[in-house]
Amino acid sequence: MSSPVHPAHWPDPVVDTYDSVLAESPELAGASFVTLVEACELLASAYALDKVAAAAHYISTGSTGQTTAHPCLVEA
């Protein structure tokens, strides 16, 4: 059985997770399948946010000029 096509914006580690879960549970359907897709969307968002934070070396400047953790790191 081939797995359903995944969204193009998912990075490789997310696709690997998706494919691994479907390989272990090929009968996944309904709410369980939707839960897998939603979990993968959250992972994809975390990877995207981490990429933004990494580009800024995980730091940002706060409102009073202090060094803080990058907001995307916190959100990821």
**What pLDDT is recorded for position 1?**
45
Looking at residue 12, what is its pLDDT? 96
- The span from the CA of 43 to the CA of 38, in Å, is 9
CA 72 to chain centre: 13
- Give the pLDDT of residue 18: 97
Per residue of the chain (76 residues), what is the pLDDT tens digit? 455 688 999 999 999 999 999 999 999 999 999 999 999 999 999 999 999 999 999 999 999 999 999 999 888 8
The closest of 24, 19, 27, 17 to 3, measured between CA atoms, is 19
